[in-house]
Amino acid sequence: MPCRPIHVNLEVDPGATQKILISLDKTCDANDEATWKMSFELQEGNPLATVVKLDVEIDPENHPQAEATAANSGLDDNHQGQAKIAAAIAKDPTVGDDDKKDAAQQVIAVKQIPAAAAPVNS
């Protein structure tokens, strides 16, 4: 299937003073190789102000999950739960940038994809 661009912006509102914005962007190069990038932004306070913003390139093994998330046009319960965890980690000053990005990437990685039918052995 040829690669085609997709851009999705999603929002999670855990409370009135907290908002998590997630952007998923799929771009295609001349060789039809897809690149998925995710932007994770945490806003807090009243009025809301950006506390953390992370840009993460989705690992190739998580591309199917990213595709499924974009195709379903929404965040399921797993996504939303992981988004809250990622927000908590992103705010923690003792956590390194790599771990913060990894936690953000997990928001997409937790997407449940139905397993392919197992091959029947003759």
| Closest to 41 in 3D by CA, of 9, 6, 81 | 9
Token pair in block for residue 24: 């998923």
| Closest to 76 in 3D by CA, of 21, 18, 10 | 10
Among 10, 20, 38, 107, binds another protein (CB under 8 A): 10
Among 27, 45, 88, 112, binds another protein (CB under 8 A): 27
The residue range among 25-33, 44-52, 89-97, 103-111 that interacts with another protein, by the rule CB under 8 A, is 25-33
Q: Is 25 in the site for another protein (CB under 8 A)?
A: yes
Q: Is 32 in the site for another protein (CB under 8 A)?
A: yes
Task: Specify the DSSP element, H or E, that contains 43.
Answer: strand 34-44
Check residue 32 and give left, alpha or beta (phi > 0: left; psi -120 to 50: alpha). left
Among 20, 38, 70, 110, binds another protein (CB under 8 A): 70
Q: Is 116 in the site for another protein (CB under 8 A)?
A: no
CB-neighbour burial class of residue 51 (10 A; exposed 0-12, middle 13-18, buried 19+): middle
Peptide bond into 64 cis (omega under 30): no
The residue range among 47-55, 57-65, 67-75, 86-94 that interacts with another protein, by the rule CB under 8 A, is 67-75
Among 49, 61, 73, 96, binds another protein (CB under 8 A): 73
Interacting residue ranges for another protein, rule: CB under 8 A: 1-11, 13, 23, 25, 27-28, 30-32, 70, 73-74
